[in-house]
């Protein structure tokens, strides 16, 4: 079934949140939006959804721009390129949301809710005990309008909720799935405006899509359960909704939803690990789409020329890293030798990381060859732990006999805490990294030197490196977290160290055999 194309120019968008590393899923959805716009002579918009004031950062926003451009995604309108429908950051559009929220309250489609966090948590607990789906119970739904206004004017804290129908069903027309139906009793009264005056995703999403003239909302299928609320908002405002297209989620090889726990999801990681941008873009184009004839290698221009979003397969596309490596190999082998050398040099010297790494290495150098021996920790994808793997058990090489040594299971918990704390570091700078690691050591009750050593070995594969926090800053968030997750996974295995010890035993046997051959008396000549 063809996707409806309106008479007005096609306008599509992506709206990432600048709260962490740029995600491969963002690039996947962006590629299909961009291809749809280009194929239909339309416009592709980048909007930044930065209403999460505690987690959104300009640093993350800049990383989104850079990573999307690295992979080959370019937009026609956005915060950094401008456009006639700006501003394109939601934090700069709050007046729009408040105005439209007041309209909904005046029309009776929304209401103020004065419930405290304690009351809401108590209600959720009671619902869990009763084996009910936790949801808002509508306590403030029937408040007198004048009383509600007086309480708000008196300074009492409140949120604004959508008055969603309590009976019947909602029908979501999805261009790939047909009609998707929802029982309204399972949908609660969504918060539209938070107590700080900032909108939730749902309110800002609908208002911005309407005001920016978005004709097609092409997004991941995880948002399909929210679409009844969005359609209800369009109806409450009296607006025509866009065409909804919910793309299949990227999957791990075991068909679970892709997540950083099982696969690297950061675009920055793939750039740092040596994936070519054209290979990554090609790979993302294979996610649920085929050019036909079993063709798997193609350019962006070829993808756009062939593109028909109605041909997207709803079967969960598998984000297979082996397939990505294979495809990347095709592109690498297709480069001229001079181009390959140029790309390799650019990869190592990207963003002046070579200067930052050199500054850290310089004090330890005795010859130029040593630079490359020491620098690989900054540019390699994986690090080999080898004999140093035992150091992941915190305190296994404690400097003081009185220091607390953790068990393997306690060390697993320590690394889990380190990961959580570092994932929460807003600005990836040495001071913030150090503060997070010190708190992890304090929680685990270990000497900071021992806790830091375990992290050092997990990230670099070595017990001796340039200063730890500066090293982690240069290695970068994405690569640091990936290496820590790998160390955490290795440490979590019941057979931890068995493989390493077996490899060591084999290496020792090989050395002993070589020595025996070298020391054996020469056979007499005849």
SS3 181: strand
What is the dihedral sign for C-alpha 458, 462, 464, 470? negative
Burial 483-505 (b: 16+ CB within 10 A, else e): bbbbbbebbeeeebbeebeeeee
From the CB of residue 116, how many other CB atoms can be counted at a distance below 10 Å?
A: 9
Question: Is 260 among the catalytic positions?
Answer: yes
Residues 6+ apart with CB under 8 A from 146: none
Do the beta carbons of residue 245 and residue 217 sit within 8 Å? yes
Q: CB under 8 Å to 289, separation ≥6 — which residues? A: 32, 307, 311, 312, 313
CB 91, CB 49: distance < 8 Å: no
Say if residues 422 and 481 touch (Cβ distance below 8 Å). yes
In the chain, count of helices (H) and strands (E)? 20, 9
Q: Identify whether 472 is preceded by a cis peptide bond (ω within 30 of 0).
A: no
User: Which SS3 state, helix, strand or coil, does residue 56 take?
Assistant: coil
Q: Rounded distance, CA 274 to CA 2, Å?
A: 38
Q: Which residues lie below 8 Å from residue 365, measured CB to CB, with a gap of 6+?
A: 371, 374
* Helix ranges (DSSP H) in 167-276: 201-211, 227-237, 267-272
| Overall residue count recorded for the chain in this entry | 526
Contact 467, 360 (CB under 8 A): yes
Inter-helix orientation angle 448-460/468-475, to 10°: 30
Angular region, 475: left φ>0, alpha ψ -120 to 50, beta rest:
alpha
216: helix, coil or strand?
A: strand
Collapsing DSSP to helix, strand or coil, 178 comes out as strand
Span between the terminal Cα atoms of the chain, in Å: 87
Catalytic residue among 131, 194, 229, 260: 260
- Return the closest-CA partner of residue 416 out of 492, 494, 472: 492
Closest to 325 measured CA to CA, from 368, 369, 381: 381
How far from the centroid of its chain's Cα atoms is residue 464's Cα?
31
* Sequence-distant (≥ 6) Cβ neighbours of residue 211 within 8 angstroms: 85, 96
Element (H, E) at 126: helix 117-129
Number of neighbours of residue 314 by Cβ within 10 angstroms: 13
Q: Please give the positions annotated as active site.
A: 260
């Amino acid at each position: 079934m063809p996707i409806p194309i309106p008479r007005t120019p096609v306008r599509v968008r992506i709206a990432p949140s600048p709260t962490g590393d740029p995600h491969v899923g963002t690039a996947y959805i962006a590629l299909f939006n961009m291809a749809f716009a280009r194929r239909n002579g339309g416009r592709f918009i980048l909007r930044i959804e930065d209403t999460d004031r505690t987690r959104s950062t300009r640093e993350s926003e800049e990383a989104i721009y850079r990573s999307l451009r690295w992979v080959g995604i370019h937009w026609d309108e956005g915060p950094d390129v401008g456009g006639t429908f700006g501003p394109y950051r939601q934090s700069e559009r709050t007046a729009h949301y408040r105005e439209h929220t007041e309209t909904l309250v005046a029309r009776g489609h929304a209401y103020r809710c004065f419930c405290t966090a304690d009351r809401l948590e108590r209600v959720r607990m009671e619902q869990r005990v009763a084996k009910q789906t936790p949801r808002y119970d509508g306590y403030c739904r029937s408040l007198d309008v004048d009383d509600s206004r007086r309480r708000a004017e008196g300074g009492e804290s409140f949120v604004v909720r959508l008055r969603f129908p309590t009976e019947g069903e909602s029908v979501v027309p999805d261009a790939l799935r047909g009609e998707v139906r929802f029982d309204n009793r399972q949908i609660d009264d969504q918060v539209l405006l938070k107590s700080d005056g900032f909108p939730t995703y749902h309110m800002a999403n609908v208002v911005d899509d309407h005001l920016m003239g978005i004709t097609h909302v092409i997004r991941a299928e995880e948002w399909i359960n929210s679409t009844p609320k969005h359609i209800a908002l369009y109806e409450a405002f009296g607006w025509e909704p866009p065409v909804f297209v919910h793309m299949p989620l990227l999957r791990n090889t075991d068909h679970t939803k892709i997540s950083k726990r099982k696969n690297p999801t950061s675009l920055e990681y793939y750039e740092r690990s040596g994936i070519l941008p054209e290979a990554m873009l090609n790979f993302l184009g294979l996610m649920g789409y085929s050019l036909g004839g079993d063709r798997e290698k193609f350019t962006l221009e070829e993808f756009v020329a062939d593109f028909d979003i109605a041909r997207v397969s709803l079967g969960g596309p598998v984000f297979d890293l082996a397939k990505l490596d294979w495809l990347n190999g095709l592109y690498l082998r297709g480069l001229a030798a001079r181009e390959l050398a140029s790309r390799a040099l650019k990869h190592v010297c990207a963003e002046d990381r070579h200067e930052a790494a050199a500054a850290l290495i310089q004090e330890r150098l005795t010859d130029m060859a040593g630079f490359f021996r020491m620098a690989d920790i900054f540019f390699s994808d994986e690090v080999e732990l080898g004999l140093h793997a035992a150091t992941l058990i915190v305190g296994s090489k404690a400097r003081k006999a009185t220091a607390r040594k953790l068990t393997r299971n306690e060390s697993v918990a320590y690394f889990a805490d380190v990961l959580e704390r570092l994932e929460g570091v807003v600005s990836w700078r040495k001071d913030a990294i150090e503060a997070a690691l010190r708190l992890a050591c304090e929680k685990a009750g270990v000497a900071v030197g021992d806790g830091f050593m375990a992290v050092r070995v997990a990230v670099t594969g070595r017990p001796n490196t340039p200063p730890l926090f500066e090293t982690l800053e240069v290695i970068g968030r994405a690569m640091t977290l990936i290496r820590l997750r790998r160390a955490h996974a290795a440490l979590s295995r019941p057979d931890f160290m068995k493989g390493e010890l077996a490899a060591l035993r084999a290496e020792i046997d090989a050395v002993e055999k070589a020595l025996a051959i070298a020391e054996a008396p020469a056979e007499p000549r005849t």
